[in-house]
Structure 1
Amino acid sequence: MRLFVGDDWAEDHHDVEVMDSAGRRLAKARVPEGVAGMAKLHAIVGDLVGDDADEADEAEILVGIETDRGPWVAALIAAGYTVLAVNPLQASRFRDRLGFSGAKSDAGDAHVLADMVRTHAHELRPVAGDSARAEAIKVVARTHKTMIWERTRHTQRLRHALGDYFPAALVAFDDLDAADTLELLAKAPTPAQAARLTIAQISAALKRARRRDIPAKAAAIQTTLRSEQLGQPEVVAEAYAASVQALLAVLGVLNTQIKTLQGQVEAHFGQHPAAEIILSQPGLGTILGARVLAEFGDDPTRYASAKARKNYAGTSPITRASGKKKVVLARFVHNDRLIDALTTQAFSALQWSPGARAYYDRQRARGVGHSPALRQLANRLVGILHGCLKTGTLYDEATAWPQLTEKAAA
């Protein structure tokens, strides 16, 4: 017996519909989020399965839902249901197949998901059974990266504000989110106050930030801050200074939390069994390796082949062919966090792996641009990582790039 459940989730409730193999609606309901809602869903399914123990054991419950994480999904998996993660874009396109009116409702979406699971379960991706350790790494690694992105956004806001009333600061300070810059700008947020900073004050901030060549840098900063520059009226400058001090406070907190989370990422990643294999890959350190593991997951059955892993990563190209026209394009729908980590790995591997460097140079010699060549290198590195994880072996330069290694030796 097979039952197909469509689960359209919201923040505080779920609209569910249960369908049989023939497409008949057996039950529909709105259940609350949490334990009470899960109990009600189990009761609905239990009534449909029946009281026969053998029949209950043989029953297969497939659930389609537009997410692959959270306590609700974990509870469904723990209950023995097969949970199929449906991309919202897939659900939207499938809804268009059932009607053209454009009507949409939560109950209707639950029906679409149930019917989609019934007819296309073989093409949908089951939620991966990642380990608790991998889930913990994902939580801290994603938060760490989010904090870095937030720091970049606030740094850009600080740059724009300084450019509007204090352009000399942009010349004096190369790194706006550095500790010495934050300290000096907090102490002297207006051009007039900055011009009164002494060499001793500047040197002390540079020393606390562990800068080198402090006397020369302090003198250069002071000269720049005291140089002539275009400015704003005093009252406007003071208003900008208040805004800048707020941004400086946020950046200071972000710097502290990024450092704290980095320690958490390193601690969790160091305890994972696959950490040694991932760290053996060229271009991957502890933080970058943790991000790659977090986004790929560690379920050994999730990727049937290296091609499947490359497709999920978004590094492999897509082909559009119609008649005599054939175009090969990059994938623009992908996991942003994963593609960011893999591209960074590829760029770093150019320095540490002769094989990766030779592969990249060969693409460039064919007339391929920097970004496409880097993406192709990242695609190749994903395949190498898949092979290492599948066989449980560490990265080996000669094995990874046999033709390029032999050519270099010759």
Structure 2
Amino acid sequence: MQQQHLLVGVDVGCRKHHVAIGGPGGITEQFEITHDARGFAYFFGRVSEQARRQRLPVVVGMEGTNGYARPLDQLVKDKGYTLLNVNNLKLARFKEIFASPTKTDSIDAQQIVTLMMMAPFMEQVKESLQPVLTVSEIEQQLKRLSRRRRQLVQEKVNVQNRMQVDLQSVCPGFLDIIHKVDALYVLRFLSFRSDLRQLARLRPATIRSIPGIGVTKAAMLARWQSSAVFGSEIAWVGPMIVKDAKRLLQLKGAIDSLEAQLEALVKQSLLARILDSIPGFGTISAAEVSGEIGT
């Protein structure tokens, strides 16, 4: 690879990226770019000039494409360059074996180029460099939306666990009656008043006016009202519970919206449809797996 390609190593940072360019004679150029349009233009200007001068096709290696590498990694693909994703764990091992006297971002960019130079001669090194293929927009959407959904689901779990602990401490007995704290009617009930103590005095007709609460659920809440007791911290913990209930309602709505989008995208992806046809997989699991595999 080192004799037939211009090798570009990019050490990705959150605001700046360090770049090293290597040709048949070794490292020829090093520089730093900002993560903005001006920095990207400078990057492609320097790389294209070297490629023109040496008459070599370009291969770009990045540690951790996606993430902070966006949108530079996609711009590299759009430019027609070959893009390699450098395995971060194997690169770390490589840097341990071929340690440099100093540790700087520019040295890391050089070591990415060195790793690419050694790839034709070492099978293990080849495994550290994975080509980033061009994928369809559907797979990209599946990946981003499914990851977003997982983040919101995790946030929902965290908020729900926190709210349950708070309810147990200032509204003892409430959880024993309603059982499922993330049920829509429960969240709407808890967020119906800014002061939880007012909920114990709501009239039956008022409770039944809350969406999702019919005669049966209203009777359950009436049982809690008849024996409602509040802890000494209710004055300041109560508003926290109300805010958490409102946040859970928002999260449930956002998650439902994402799941609807994912279900529609699954129908447009051959890989996702195949996975969805496997017993026990499910549409959301098919969307998540196909998004990761497809990209």
TM-score bracket, shorter-length normalisation: 0.7 to 0.9
Counterparts of residues 300-339 of structure 1 (less than 5 Å): none
Paired-residue identity, %? 25
Q: 1:25 to 1:276 in 2, by over 3 A?
A: closer
Name 1:285's counterpart in structure 2: 282
Deviations 1:186-210 (A, max 9, x none): 23576643432344344444xx32x
Counterparts of residues 2-401 of structure 1 (less than 5 Å): 2-21=5-24, 24-51=26-53, 56=55, 59-69=56-66, 70-99=70-99, 103-120=102-119, 122-123=126-127, 124-187=129-192, 192-205=197-210, 208-209=211-212, 214-227=214-227, 231-233=230-232, 236-297=233-294
| TM-score normalised to structure 1 length | 0.63
Per the TM alignment, residue 46 of structure 1 is displaced from its structure 2 partner at its CA by: 3.0
Give the secondary-structure state (helix, strand or coil) at the position aligned to 1:26: strand
Contact 2:16 2:34 in 1 (8 A): yes
Tell me the amino acid that sits aligned with residue 95 of structure 2.
Answer: R
Per the TM alignment, residue 21 of structure 1 is displaced from its structure 2 partner at its CA by: 4.5
Q: 1:264 to 1:153 in 2, by over 3 A?
A: same
Q: Distance in 2 between matches of 1:105 and 1:139?
A: 32
Q: 1:192 to 1:249 in 2, by over 3 A?
A: closer
Q: Distance in 2 between matches of 1:169 and 1:116?
A: 61
Deviations 1:143-188 (A, max 9, x none): 1222222111111111121122112222122222221111211235
Per the TM alignment, residue 247 of structure 1 is displaced from its structure 2 partner at its CA by: 1.2
Per the TM alignment, residue 83 of structure 1 is displaced from its structure 2 partner at its CA by: 1.4
Identify unmatched segments of 5+ residues in structure 1: 299-410
Give the secondary-structure state (helix, strand or coil) at the position aligned to 2:191: helix
Q: CA RMSD, aligned part only?
A: 2.5
Name 1:321's counterpart in structure 2: none
Tell me the amino acid that sits aligned with residue 9 of structure 1.
Answer: V
Contact 2:9 2:110 in 1 (8 A): yes
Per the TM alignment, residue 100 of structure 1 is displaced from its structure 2 partner at its CA by: 7.0
Identify unmatched segments of 5+ residues in structure 2: 120-124
Per the TM alignment, residue 63 of structure 1 is displaced from its structure 2 partner at its CA by: 1.8
Q: Distance in 1 between matches of 2:190 and 2:279?
A: 39
Contact 1:169 1:225 in 2 (8 A): no
**Bigger RCO of structures 1 and 2 (CA < 8 A, at least 6 apart):** 2
Q: Distance in 2 between matches of 1:71 and 1:258?
A: 26
How many matched pairs? 283
Tell me the amino acid that sits aligned with residue 104 of structure 1.
Answer: K
Contact 2:200 2:225 in 1 (8 A): yes
